[in-house]
Amino acid sequence: MSVRKAARTFEVPRTTLQDRRAGRVARPERRPNSMKMTITEEEVILERVIDLIDRGFPPRQEDVREMADQLLNARDGTRTGPRWAENFVRRVPELKMRFRRRIDYQRALAEDPTIIQGWFALVRNTIAKYGILDHDIYNFDETGFLMGMLSHAKVVTTSDRKGRPRTKQPGNREWVSVIQGVCADGWAMPPYVIVKGKYHLLSWYTNGQFPATWRIHPSENGWTTNDIGLDWLKHFNQCTKSRTKGSYRLLILDGHNSHKSTDFDEYCKEQNIIALCMPPHSSHELQPLDVGCFSPLKYSYGKEIEKMMRMQISHITKDDFFPAFKAAFFASMGENNY
């Protein structure tokens, strides 16, 4: 059948048929020459975005752009434009931008059962999908210590005293962060301690006599960054890989920004670590480490600081913190449980 006859039979413009026969694509379907990424590369990004959404990590536009820049940088060292992620979401029918909801406390209470049921369904489905064993399920959380803070406790005082007795606090209120992971079988992995500073000091290790598996990481302000989050993940992998029984490990976390980076996600994939993010604002109900682990740990640490105060140590330094934390960790977590 000729092009002219086919056009007349199917009521299609003859020029359109000629263009298609010659391999020319319609303008709306044509991929501009200015597009930096191939169709395959964009499909990889789409797959990664959908995977993040399914695991409770809906990415921001800048996160999507970071994924694209990482691919381009590996290929030819280039980067996407400032509006690439916005345009990508607009032209991909599977995606759309939506604002995260901010809801009042009473409404959150009413929705909690549905949210929590959905969360546990996600955990069950993930365990079934990857065949994850209980021995390979981990939860981790981050908590903070004020170096010189005593724990709350009842004390003995005279019966005629009015009001609460006061206890002197050490002068230093410098912040220290601790990331702690615990396995579903009760095993506590070696802690990861983040202190304010730029360099490692030998005295931290000699005075504190930290076990070799414990990690200290200096930070500009004592808080977690993307680089520190990735370094902790490598610490987790190093500590748990030899005791893994199945093919995958499940890591449950709270969705801190340092756990959403592209490098964090890539490393999880490389090491067969499946990361799941708890629903927003639900850690008070779903995070067991706050009460079960961190409360006893902080109480034990406060008692160690109180002992130092009785020895006339009025200013707690990092050199004092590390042995106190070590003693508190062993007292609350168990000396043989790591």
Mean of all residue pLDDT scores within the chain? 81
Q: How far apart are CA 269 and CA 224, in angstroms?
A: 22
C-alpha triplet 100, 230, 319: angle, nearest 5°: 115
Going by CATH, does the domain composed of 112-151+169-333 fall within 3.60.15.10? no
Convert the pLDDT of each residue in 256-283 to its tens digit: 667 778 889 899 999 999 999 888 777 7
Q: How far apart are CA 70 and CA 236, in angstroms?
A: 24
What pLDDT shows up at residue 97?
Answer: 74
Strand order across the beta sheet in which 137-146 lies = 215-219, 192-196, 175-183, 137-146, 249-253, 273-277
Convert the pLDDT of each residue in 54-72 to its tens digit: 887 788 888 899 999 988 8
Quickly state the pLDDT bin for 157 (edges 50, 70, 90). Answer: very low
pTM (2 d.p.): 0.68
Say what percent of the chain tops pLDDT 90.
28
Say what percent of the chain tops pLDDT 70.
82
Of 221, 218, 220, 226, whose CA–CA distance to 192 is shortest? 218
Does residue 192 carry a pLDDT above 90?
A: yes
What pLDDT shows up at residue 208?
Answer: 63
Domain residue limits, the chain: 30-100, 112-151+169-333
Instruction: Check if the beta carbon of residue 61 is closer than 8 Å to that of residue 78.
Output: no
Rounded-to-5 percentages of helix, strand, coil across the chain: 50, 10, 40
